[in-house]
Chains A and B, each alone.
Chain A
Amino acid sequence: MAREYKILSPTAILGYGFPESSFLKGLEEGPDLIAVDAGSTDPGPYYLGSGKPFTDRVGVKSDLRAMLTHGVRRGIPVVIGTAGGSGARPHLEWCRALVEEIAREENLTFRLGLAYADVDAEVVLAGLHSGKVQALDGLEDPTEEQVRSCPHIVAQMGNEPLQALAREGAQVILAGRCYDPACFAALPIMAGYDAALATHLGKILECAAIAATPGSGSDSVLGILREDSFELRALSPERRFTPQSTAAHTLYEKSDPSHLPGPGGSLDLTDVTFTDLGEGRVEVRGTRFVPTPRYAIKLEAARPVGFRTLSIAGIRDPILIGSIQKVAGQVKARVDQLLSREAVQGRVFFHMYGLNGVMGDLERADTGTGHELGLVMEVLAPTQEQANTICSLTRSTFLHYGYEGRIATAGNLAFPFSPSDVPMGPAYEFCLYHLMEVADPEAFFTREIVTIDGAGVTPGKEVRS
């Protein structure tokens, strides 16, 4: 019988959860690998900049517990990509602490491999000077000072560091920032499977059941890699893969559906076929990998741009709603005037839901405003105190502003909460989204292997006799 390699993908993002029944059904298939992508840049620059996860500890621990207990006890390797959401060192350490807690609670012993994705600012600056670091998608190059101000700079690792950890005996691998498909593709490629197919399969598995129909970000699916094709199977009775659902997923979040760039090259999907195998299964063939002349990886970093304070209010007065843009401009001007006296710097943004809160400048709807309007006052300033000051001033100015035609003179805003103002802490902005050439895509990333001995450590749970 021709050989095959089965990969169980429990969920789209570690922490999003999955039904135990589909996960167990996947385990019955005897998978060769359990892998999950734990990260994304979708939630914005804050998480990478601050070193905090965008997923919740309880959800992540619950998903990890199922994967680790079943994986380790059955001898199935477990690979987590972009641990902690953004994959910088604090994210990886956060995820590692959860792994260690679970090992103690479940009495698991295994070799844990860690691959760090952090890149030193000086390496990036040298690359920017020499031309080995190039901006993507029209982003301007950051200044030296901006690069140095980034709390974390990560690079998306490819398969090589994960393969090195597996060769060195790691049974569970936690990777920092990682090309999404790599946590699925690294091990089968090492076992001799086609790199293009394995990577394409990883592209689909990293979103788990999102590529099935009906789609779900929190359900398990199985991928089966063969010599010249791969197959996708849903593991819930209500879900199935169809050629259409699988092909449509190929578009998702990509700028070009036929050419998908990654570390060291691009997947070429021009000649890919999606075939219905019946019973909710789809077979994919024809993916090619086109290496780039020089191996490049993607850098990501977010720099701090100050502190944010918000205030949220509703407006119901039709006279004010009718002239809201004019009044908002007048309020801003009044605030600017007051601030210039005190030499406090900052920027004020009004998000007006019911007018153009979602699309901003792109909004062209001419349906008029509704009977009520939601207002979010956003303030950004160099310190939290200054942001609070400006927000307070903007809120009180707006509340009592005597706009033209006003007949409701007691107050212009309906606040749903007391306190009305919310200090949000530091704000960040993406400032590196660049490609960097690397000479050795394995050695570029630091790795570490530790033995996690669940039995050798006192369990965290208290025991009463």
Chain B
Amino acid sequence: MKNLREVAQVIRSKNSSPMKLTLDIIFKDQEVFEEVRRRDLLTPEVVAGAYRIPPEEIEKILYFEPARAVKIGMRRRVRSGSPGDSDVYGAQQHAPLLTLELDL
């Protein structure tokens, strides 16, 4: 098992719209990126597990080869900037990924 922080160069979150968050993981090595993709190690279940939310809230997981990156789409629970929102830009919602363990 390896912690995602050991193999990732960038782990971040941001709004992709006022209703959606996008999480990016950029891997350090091409081999690790390919292994994660080939063995499908980042499933909605795995990501949802880190956030302890139902897997249905993880709406998509996409791989982008040129950047050795995985992109995860999830919905925001409160629209950006609406009453009660806690993170207008969505830039600090990535922390649960930092402790994710992958079977590498």
Binding site for B on A (CB under 8 A): 41-46, 136-139, 243-244, 247-248, 250-258, 269, 272-274, 305-306, 308, 347, 349, 351, 356-362, 364-365, 378, 380, 427-430, 433
Contacts and interface: CB of A to CB of B under 8 A. Distances in A.
Given A349-B83, A429-B81, 19 more contacts: A41-B18, A42-B89, A44-B88, A136-B19, A137-B18, A137-B20, A244-B68, A247-B67, A248-B10, A251-B69, A253-B14, A253-B15, A274-B66, A359-B87, A359-B93, A362-B51, A364-B52, A430-B79, A433-B19
Interface in B51-67: 51-53, 60, 62, 64, 66-67
Nearest to A351: B86
B5 interface: no
A43 B62 CA distance: 26
Interface residues of B, number: 41
Contact of A43 (B10, B22, B75, B88): B88
B37 interface: no
Contacts of A253: 14-16, 22
Given A251-B69, A253-B15, A44 B81 contact: yes
Contacts of A365: 95
B72 to A, nearest CB: 10
Report the 6 A-B pairs with minimum CB-CB distance, sorted nearest first.
Answer: A44-B81, A247-B67, A247-B66, A257-B64, A255-B16, A430-B18
Contact of B83 (A42, A136, A139, A429): A429
B17 A255 contact: yes
B82 A254 contact: no
Contacts of B16: 253-255
A122 B66 CA distance: 44
A357 B81 contact: no
Contacts of A359: 86-87, 92-93, 95
Contacts, number: 135
B60 A250 contact: no
Nearest to A42: B89
A257 B61 CA distance: 11
B47 interface: no
Contacts of A358: 86-87, 92-93
A138 B75 CA distance: 9
Given A251-B69, A253-B16, A45 B64 contact: no
Given A46-B81, A430-B80, A258 B64 contact: yes
A319 to B, nearest CB: 26
A12 B63 CA distance: 26
Contacts of B20: 137, 255
A66 B81 CA distance: 33
A230 to B, nearest CB: 15
Contacts of A41: 17-18, 80
B78 interface: yes
Interface in B1-50: 10, 14-20, 22, 24, 26
B8 to A, nearest CB: 12
Given A255-B60, A362-B93, A364-B96, A45 B82 contact: yes
B87 to A, nearest CB: 6
Contacts of B93: 358-359, 362
19 contacts: A41-B17, A41-B80, A45-B82, A243-B66, A251-B69, A255-B71, A255-B73, A256-B60, A257-B67, A258-B62, A274-B66, A349-B83, A359-B87, A359-B93, A360-B77, A362-B51, A378-B84, A429-B81, A433-B19
B19 A138 contact: yes
B24 A251 contact: yes
Nearest to A254: B16
A277 to B, nearest CB: 16
A251 B86 contact: no
Contacts of B86: 351, 356-360
A46 B10 CA distance: 30
Contacts of A44: 80-81, 85, 88
Nearest to A250: B67
A258 B62 CA distance: 9
Contact of A347 (B10, B60, B83): B83
B78 A433 contact: no
Contacts of B79: 139, 429-430
B3 to A, nearest CB: 16
A274 B64 CA distance: 13
